Amino acid sequence: MDDTKRYERLRERYMNGDLDRRSFLGLLGAAGLAYGVQMPFARQALAAVEEVRFDGWGGVVSEAFRQYAFGPFTEKTGIKVVDGTFGGGDEFLSRVKASRPGEYNIAHLSGVFDYVRYINLGLGSTLDESKIPNLQYVIPKLTEVFKKVTDGKLSCVPYDYGTTGIAYNRKHISDDEVKEKGAKILIDDAYKGKIGGWSDWRTRIWYASLQTGQDPNGATDMDAIWDAIRTNRDLVLKYWTSGAELMSLLAEEEIYVTEGWSGRIYALQEQGHDIGYYDPPNGFGWQECLFVIKGSPMAACEELLDFMLAPATSIAVAEGQNYPPALDPKKVDLGEKIPKLPAFDPTGTLSGLTFADPAYWNGHEQAWSKKFSRIEKGY
């Protein structure tokens, strides 16, 4: 057997999970010594199993991952976690589609919507759940929705959840006003130039559905929705593109009201800013997962996922990023802070949250994202 075939066979066994990282490195080294050769692509092979790339949302979220998960994991295993960031799911997916196989490994994706997109594009992997025993602590509902998509198997593990509610500056807008107006406060011309919004087509359509009295997962009058989006566009100071920008706009009082991510708003409150937060009826609930992209070093990725799902790690990350973890509160004591976080469900059923229907949203993605892009540019 020539060296290339030997390397490829060992690598295939490793990628399939038949060999753990240490065994793979040992066999790779032994083969090289036995034959007195330089293994083809050996440097790349070693880098692949000694490093895992992780891409997430940046800001306080990535800081929490680095401090409470990646650093301790590297110290324990010797596997370096190279972490990158992105501002939105569409942006990151474009990067992945243009990348080489194996260039991206684990991504902090937004729920079933993104999961379906990646699976349909052939970017999924198959996790060996026996290598991730800490999955036993996850809220069953969060795991089941992914397994329904991939015939009982998983390409990800659930990790956290939250809501996209209404954030407002209490110096200028009262709690009572927000509760009375709900989503319509984002199209109130009394706050023209002091309104913000996320430049995400799904969020814009979701809130326009609420503003026009329609079901976000089944709107029937799209003309009314596009009109509401245009109204919002004409009133906003700017559409923000990242959690860091959202926090800056509110903290600097450039805007008084916007929809915002629950954990980022809690972080502002912790910093002493008088920012209120309100989830309107049928507000946007979501869960996030850690998705393993096809071509990744599976054994190393599974080792990292299990480490991150360990209750001690998961709780520390949750407290750092201010989003409730996917851990089942009936199985794990989540401490004092997590039950106080916005969107936290003490029952573990998540019955109070409205999630996006992946079939509905994926079915309209091409047309609706293009339409919103035109409206955002002023058409």
- Residues in contact with 352: Cβ distance below 8 Å, sequence separation at least 6, in sequence order: 345
Average pLDDT value for the chain = 90
Q: What amino acid occupies position 172?
A: H
Q: Is 162-285+359-376 CATH 3.40.190.10?
A: yes
- Residues in contact with 289: Cβ distance below 8 Å, sequence separation at least 6, in sequence order: 108, 109, 111, 114, 115, 146, 156, 157, 158, 159
List, for residues 54-102, the tens digit of each pLDDT value.
Answer: 999 998 899 999 999 999 999 999 999 999 999 888 899 999 999 999 9
- Kindly report the pTM of this predicted structure: 0.82
Please give the sequence-ordered ranges of beta strands (E in DSSP) within 111-235, or none if there are none: 156-169, 195-198
List, for residues 200-257, the tens digit of each pLDDT value.
Answer: 999 999 999 999 999 999 999 999 999 999 999 999 999 999 999 999 999 999 999 9
Please give the sequence-ordered ranges of beta strands (E in DSSP) within the chain, or none if there are none: 51-56, 80-85, 106-110, 156-169, 195-198, 236-240, 257-261, 275-278, 284-292, 354-355
List, for residues 111-167, the tens digit of each pLDDT value.
Answer: 899 999 999 999 999 999 999 999 999 999 999 999 999 999 999 999 999 999 999
List, for residues 260-282, the tens digit of each pLDDT value.
Answer: 999 999 999 999 999 999 999 99
- Compute φ and ψ for 242, nearest 5 degrees: -155, 160
- Architecture in CATH for domain 52-161+286-355: 3-Layer(aba) Sandwich (3.40)
Q: What is the pLDDT of residue 6?
A: 60
